[in-house]
Amino acid sequence: MKLDLTFDEILTTTRAVRKRLDTTRAVPRSVIEECLELALQAPNGSNRNDWRWIVVDDPAMVRKLADEYRAAMGVLSSGAVPSVRYLSGSDPREDKLLESAFALVEKLDTMPAILIPLMPGRVEGKSVVDQASMWGSIVQAVWSFMLALRSRGLGSIWATVTSRREKEIAELLGIPLDEYTQVGFFPVAYTIGTDFKRAWRKPVSEVLTYNGF
Ligand SMILES: Cc1cc2nc3c(=O)[nH]c(=O)nc-3n(C[C@H](O)[C@H](O)[C@H](O)COP(=O)(O)O)c2cc1C
């Protein structure tokens, strides 16, 4: 079911949802497929469509991926968190971000679904032109997927920390590591409530210049 939100509201309120993911509510495959159908309308270089999308909704495999996420975060099996510096110092709500990032770890074992988009090829050793084309051919589709989720009352997080465990995740899911790059790790669930706010961002006046740097 679609929420009554304008396009601008969807653009400004699609957040990285962690604490408010409802892991008790099943997500039908049909909903994920509907969102992906929309997402795949995104542009991609030469319209090659050579992306791959893996949705993990088998509870045992979700738990294995959760283990990899924990390992990537540096969370020990005791639940203790080693001192790791994740933050950039720019967002005024960074303490909340870190708390939220670790709260997600607690929920991952029971996540209804996890999406792992794959782009063809490896970026290692590639020219900037090639890398721009590779990332640029999938990022829009992934963001469209997140917007489509939001429009239907679901949420996700764009997580790249799992790339630290790319090899282990590839082994788990049978991904040929030398042929595909994992773009990220996207838990998918209905959100607890559907009211989300605009985020803090640097104002346009601070980051925009005309006709030069
Ligand atoms: C490329 C990228 C990588 C990210 N990696 C992670 C991650 O590994 N773990 C995580 O919890 N959040 C991750 N995030 C979510 C960001 O922390 C989040 O988007 C940011 O704090 C702003 O919050 P908002 O999206 O709710 O406005 C990532 C976001 C992007 C775009």
CATH number at residue 166: 3.40.109.10
117 lies in some domain? yes
120 lies in some domain? yes
Mean pLDDT of 59-79: 86
60 lies in some domain? yes
Q: How far is CA 174 from CA 21, 24, 29, 71, 94, in A?
A: 27, 28, 21, 19, 36
Q: Which atom of ligand 1 is nearest to the CA of 17?
A: 26
CA distance 183 to 188: 15
Mean pLDDT of 59-70: 97
Q: Which runs of E-coded beta strand occur in 43-182?
A: 52-56, 113-120, 154-155, 180-182
CA distance 81 to 70: 10
Give residue for tokens 């049978």: 174
User: pLDDT for 150-164, tens place per residue?
Assistant: 999 999 999 999 999
Residues in the chain: 213
Q: How many domains, in total, are found in the chain?
A: 1
1 lies in some domain? no
CA distance 52 to 187: 17
Given this model, what pLDDT does residue 83 score? Answer: 46
pTM: 0.93
62 lies in some domain? yes
Mean pLDDT of 21-37: 98
Residue of 157, 162, 186, 202 to test ligand 1 pocket, by largest number of atoms within 8 Å of CB? 157
